Structure 1
Amino acid sequence: MAKQPLIILNGEAKASVILLHGLGADGHDLAPVVDMLAIPDVRFVLPHAGTRPVTINGGYVMPAWYDIQSADITQQQDDAGFEQSRLIIDGLIADEISLGIPQERIMLAGFSQGGAIALYSGLSSELPLAGIAALSSYLPTLPALKQNPPPIWMAHGKHDDIIPLAVAEASWSAAPSYMPERHTYPMGHEISMEEITDLRTWLLKTLA
């Protein structure tokens, strides 16, 4: 049975943010980020990825939203893994709707591999979601273009040696109609306080 997501809520749930962790972590990894965002009346849902062998790590079994088969993350995509995780995210969205949160008040967000799944799932969804935020991440494959994609916020470290900035920039330009709001910071593959402050501003504006 899948481990239940971590739920963090301060106040009355008027919106939901499904926040996805990176490779090898779990939902608790991003709980401090939720605390620093300090946004009231939003239910943060922090799911835990299932475990699977990760090719680039010698087949070691670890929490992962999809397999990474090469150091060049733009090659040899794990399409089956993307779809498996998308179905999980679709289920979480359905759970939030069943709890009374309108679909247009539900947002996807994530760090690194979690951000990739947030982008892939959000841009594949038929539902008009509130938005997508991807931190230190990239769009792994381009879903069918939508007429009205949700607002997208992407942020990246200028010195990221795990997912190079050039990979994120390629995602930014892959589909100009998506027009993500883009931010870069003088950091590596991590989350900074300046980034959290900017993300908080965008979340409050987008969920207003």
Structure 2
Amino acid sequence: MSYLNPSTGSGSRTSRMTFEFGRTYVVRPKGKHQATIVWLHGLGDNGSSWSQLLESLPLPNIKWICPTAPTRPVAILGGFPCTAWFDVGELSDDGPDDFEGLDASVAHIANLLSTEPADVKLGIGGFSMGAATALYSATCFAQGKYGNGNTYPVNLRAIIGLSGWLPGSRNVRNKIEGSLEAARRASSLPILLCHGSCDEVVPYKYGERSTLVLNSAGFRNLAFKKYDGLGHYTVPREMDEVCHWLNARLVLEGCR
């Protein structure tokens, strides 16, 4: 599936950029369909690997949608092309953020969720770069618009980020505080962030700092879980936390 970035900037180089998304994998609910969550893989991965893990979770009433990111040159890999939700260079507090790529991916995710039944609760989760994209989606939901100004169309009920960070963190607080409606949306959106203390790819400090930034911007319904000794991967106890948290926040029937 391709996505043409709907940038409205006059004469913008990025207004014609097209992103080709890969295959989407779907895990159907085994029980009553009560929630749909789009789950986003990390850099260089695809939707298939996570769909297999998610299918094994004791959450029979969740439908999981696992898309595959576009293949694009990635700065942190010296321009080598691989699957990535957006371009990223070295992680730093003052580094540039690829808002064009982020907006394209977040719009693709919203399109996947927009066809779900009206009575189904919607969420976004992910690992590493996928977690970063999920958190950016949270800020778009709160503001009611993408970074390019187009309307964000989906009512989110849950955000999960494992081993990730918040892109565009420098400006989030100002954007949320400037609108009463944005502040209301931010305060009502449940967010779970998990991070390993020994993460060698996305250092723990970025997960911790993202939590502080989101909280200061008005995202009050936020839980941050630190996993001592955990590197840049997930473990059963972390996924157990995800299951318990989703069950509590979405009040799913028949989940243990």
Q: State how far apart, in whole Å, the 2-side matches of 1:132 and 1:196 are.
A: 14
Q: State how far apart, in whole Å, the 2-side matches of 1:154 and 1:83 are.
A: 21
- Find 2:204's aligned residue among 149, 158, 165: 165
Alignment pair present for 1:190 and 2:230: no
3-state SS of 1:134 partner: strand
Provide the residue aligned with 1:54 in structure 2. Answer: 74
Segments of structure 2 that go 5 or more residues without pairing to the other structure are 2-20, 145-153, 177-181, 252-256
Alignment pair present for 1:87 and 2:124: no
Q: Is the 8 A contact 2:36 2:65 kept in 1?
A: yes
How many equivalent residue pairs? 204
Alpha-carbon RMSD across the aligned residues, in angstroms, is 1.7
Q: State how far apart, in whole Å, the 2-side matches of 1:71 and 1:116 are.
A: 12
Provide the residue aligned with 2:214 in structure 1. Answer: 175
Provide the residue aligned with 1:102 in structure 2. Answer: 119
Which residue identity does 2:185 align to in structure 1?
N
Identical columns (%): 29
Alignment pair present for 1:118 and 2:157: no
Q: CA deviation at 1:68?
A: 1.2
Aligned in 2, Cα 1:140/1:74: closer, same or farther, shift over 3 Å?
A: farther
Q: State how far apart, in whole Å, the 1-side matches of 2:239 and 2:130 are.
A: 16
TM-score of the superposed pair, with normalisation by structure 1: 0.91
| Structure 1 range deviating more: 13-22 or 175-184 | 175-184
Segments of structure 1 that go 5 or more residues without pairing to the other structure are none
Alignment pair present for 1:76 and 2:96: yes
3-state SS of 2:185 partner: coil
Q: CA deviation at 1:101?
A: 4.2
Q: State how far apart, in whole Å, the 1-side matches of 2:33 and 2:123 are.
A: 13
Q: State how far apart, in whole Å, the 1-side matches of 2:204 and 2:64 are.
A: 27
Aligned in 2, Cα 1:65/1:73: closer, same or farther, shift over 3 Å?
A: farther
Q: Is the 8 A contact 1:53 1:62 kept in 2?
A: yes
Provide the residue aligned with 1:12 in structure 2. Answer: 32
| Structure 1 range deviating more: 34-43 or 106-115 | 34-43
Which residue identity does 1:148 align to in structure 2?
R
| Structure 1 range deviating more: 8-17 or 110-119 | 8-17
Q: Report the structure number with the largest CA radius of gyration.
A: 2
Q: Is the 8 A contact 2:85 2:105 kept in 1?
A: yes
Aligned in 2, Cα 1:71/1:137: closer, same or farther, shift over 3 Å?
A: closer
Moved over 6 A (4+): none
Which residue identity does 2:131 align to in structure 1?
G
Q: Is the 8 A contact 1:70 1:76 kept in 2?
A: no
Which residue identity does 2:125 align to in structure 1?
A
Q: State how far apart, in whole Å, the 1-side matches of 2:138 and 2:206 are.
A: 19
Provide the residue aligned with 1:203 in structure 2. Answer: 246
- Find 2:164's aligned residue among 116, 137, 143: 137
Q: Is the 8 A contact 1:74 1:140 kept in 2?
A: no
